Structures are given as structure tokens and as C-alpha cells.
Structure 1
């Protein structure tokens, strides 16, 4: 479950975001927190889309359940690592809930957790399982923190201690990631190979180990994220967005968007724009 989008019946929702301190900015994008409070018990939905990046989430108040699972698996009082993913899910709650999260850069996993990113793709792991006693201690600090600022401080200190500076990142892969991001996923393998001066096989192996996806799959998700951002920041038509994002045609755009968000472009845009209730 990543930060995705949230929609509900009214505006009883508070969202905070904070950039990391300078010494974490190479692998942490930002810290975020959302709190919702509904006395009327209307369902509140979190659309967790495919994401090119991994992150941490702490459910410090209330809980969310998987909307697709009839048994309503709960994230109440949970703390999890959510790997980079190409699989969308919807989560719901019908009362008060609070989530604090950290969004990493794509190449953070090997540096922070000492394993190839491929091992954590599409994985949701509790922090006590992933990090042992250190994860348990972090959970306690987050749950006892008084506010967003204290949660950011506690998590920042933990990440500083967790970072393995003895494992330098491959600058060629970092450069390739930055290029894909700069081009909003609209790129091709040939241009990336020229940039990194590696054989195709070497490049794909190294990229997969560090990022958790092949270059092609990563670019596909980045392009989807760009299209999603276009929905959220302007009023262009679906056709114009599809063209801007380099899709061959509207059908291709619709198919990719549904696969990576779980919703058609029209339904996603409606939920984001109108904050529709899930009833």
C-alpha cells in the first residue's frame, strides 16, 4: 500500500508532507502523513496504484482493510515495508485512521536493506520481520510520537543508522533511472544503453538488481505515474494526456492505466477530482 490517492465523502482529511534532511535526500523523496476522521462511518477509500518506488507505512491510528479481499484483512496498528510494485490495490476504512509514511527513491532498497531490489518487488513485509529488533524499536517510537514532526525525526535518525555506506550505488544505473524519470518514462532501451556503456544483458541484470524491475517495466510505471500526475494537476482531455505521455492510441493508454491503477482513467479522474464516497 503506497500513498496513492485518497477519496471520501467530505474533507475530514489532513495531509502532511515533509522533505528529508540533506543527508537523506539521495534516497528519501519525502515523508508523508494522512489522517481521516468520519463520525458518519462512511467508507473512506485509498487507491494504492502501481509504484516505481518502495516505502514504509505506519498505521498509527485505526486501520485499513483490503477492499478486494472478502475477509477484510486489516492493517490496524501495523507497520510495513511496501516494495516497488506493478500491482494496484484498493483499501478501505469506515472510521478514523492515520498513516505515516516514507517514500524512497527507486535505488534505495539495496542501500537500506542489503538485498537486491528484486527480492522485495511486490512484497509487503512487517518491519519486525524485515528489520528484526531494530524495526520493532522504530515502530514503538512512531506509535508514541506526539505528531508528524516527531515521526519524521525518529524515522530520519533510524534511516541514517540503517544506511550502508560501504555499498556504493552503481552510478550508471542511477543515471539511467534519472534519465527515465526526466523523460517521464518515454524512452527506449537503445538510448539508455548509449548512456550507460553496458551490454544489454549487463544493463538489464544490474538495473533489475538495484531497481526491482527491468528498464522497460520501470519506464512503463514511470510513464503511468506521469499520466496520473497529469490527471491530478490539469484539465487536459484523456486523449491529450495519452498523446502527451507517448501512448500509441487511446486504447493502449486505457489498458495500461487500468492495469496499473485498477481503475479506468475516467473512474480514477472522477474519484480524484470529486472526492467521491465509496458506498
Structure 2
């Protein structure tokens, strides 16, 4: 379930996701980038992450940066997750640090925010309903953003252009519109978002394609949905899928989704 933020926080919080599965046994999941960092709260059993043959248990709450490679996750009990999906520059706004430093990282709330982080985890996990959980999170974010300086208008204009073109825009087209050099744009994306403008555009393009694929009628061919999303080469699309998601487009469409970038495999 997707929940919108309060209007006064929409410039920082993109939306909230409530993800649940009451199956008590082991299930395998795949998580990949949607171009946004975020904050996670497990109010049921935390998941574990499998990387290169090793397994790492997730903490009950944490902040994560940009995901640059897909993750294999395992649930061993009932699943209940509240995800605060931040705007692409949300890590920089909340923490005042270069976003690329948190790429593919998870950091516990109490390590980042000390007592405030521990208190927030306790309030969210013990709140009786989703409205109360979101209320505690929004009060926390509002307090942390009191003295924050947001990205400049050039960066936010670049993000709007990329989104309005659904990721189908090349960097030279951005530079024709924005008063900035390519090197300056690269630096700002790495500082505020964590990845390059080219990679961010590719992620936005993929997300729009996935939404189109999920919303298409049963008889729609994947090739037709791909063409409408700006993919003109099926082999290129398959390679892009394999690299970023680890499966083919047809396998993605057949899988059970909890979110557009989080699925059971």
C-alpha cells in the first residue's frame, strides 16, 4: 500500500510504502533501485540479506542510500515493513552528507541519530496503527529539516526534466536547457543524489517501463510496452534487465510484486 506524505514534507518524502506478507515460512525476494534512498522500519520479522554467499541480518530500522546493484533478501517469518521513500536528494537533506557515501549502505537509526533515532524506532514500532507510525516519522523529519539547505534550482530542474521525459533524455539535452557544464552537473548529482545523471535517467526510464508493463493488458507484448517506453532493441532491454534486476522482463512480469522494485522470486 502506498501512502502520500503530508503536503509540507512532499519535497523530502516521495511516499510511504506498507509491505506485508503473513506467510510464516522462508521466502526469497529481489530488491533493486528505484532511484530513491529511504528509511525502513520492520514491525514484524526483519529480513536477512544474502551477498556473495554471506548472510547479513537487517536491523529493525535503518536508513539506506542509493542501490547500485540488486539485492537478494530472505524473510523467515511474517513480513511487515514500513518504508519511507525519500526524494532522490533526501539523504543529503536529512544527513547533510554527500549522498554517494551511502550508496549500497544500511545504517541503523540509532547510529545516525543517536538517542533521537532510538526513540523514533521505539515510537514507530510500538504505534498501534499506520497513521500513528507515519505521524511519528513526519514529526521526526520535520525537526531534522529545520535548518536544512535544499539542492539548488538547477539540480531540481534537471530532476523535473528527467521525470517529464520518463528518463528518455540524454545529458546533452539537459545541458542545452540548464546553465551548467557537464562536469558541474555530474558533481551535483553525485553530491545530492549519489549517482550520475546518466544512471539516474536510466533508472527512471526503467521504472516507467515497469509501471507500464504491470498496467498493460494481459495480451500486450513486452516488446510493445518496451517500445512505448523508449527501448528500441529487445536484446539491449534484456541485458539491461539482467544487469539491474537479475531476471528477464517476462520473468519479472510473472513474479509476485510487493512494490515496483521489490518482488518475490
TM score, norm. by length of structure 1: 0.86
Which of 143, 148, 155 is residue 161 of structure 1 equivalent to? 143
Contact 2:66 2:104 in 1 (8 A): yes
Which of 14, 32, 41 is residue 49 of structure 1 equivalent to? 32
Q: How many residues align?
A: 258
Q: CA deviation at 1:70?
A: 4.4
1:252 paired residue number: 236
Q: Which runs of 5+ in 2 are unaligned?
A: 258-262
1:31 paired residue number: 16
Q: CA deviation at 1:260?
A: 1.3
Q: CA deviation at 1:170?
A: 0.6
CA distance in 1, matches of 2:264, 2:188: 43
CA distance in 2, matches of 1:93, 1:118: 28
Contact 1:107 1:174 in 2 (8 A): no
CA distance in 1, matches of 2:105, 2:51: 17
2:94 paired residue number: 112
How does 1:139-178 map onto structure 2 within 5 Å? Answer: 139-178=121-160
1:205 paired residue number: 187
3-state secondary structure, aligned to 1:242: helix
Contact 2:18 2:83 in 1 (8 A): yes
Contact 2:65 2:106 in 1 (8 A): yes
Give the root-mean-square deviation of aligned CA atoms. Answer: 2.0
2:85 paired residue number: 103
CA distance in 1, matches of 2:89, 2:128: 31
1:6 paired residue number: none
Q: CA deviation at 1:122?
A: 1.9
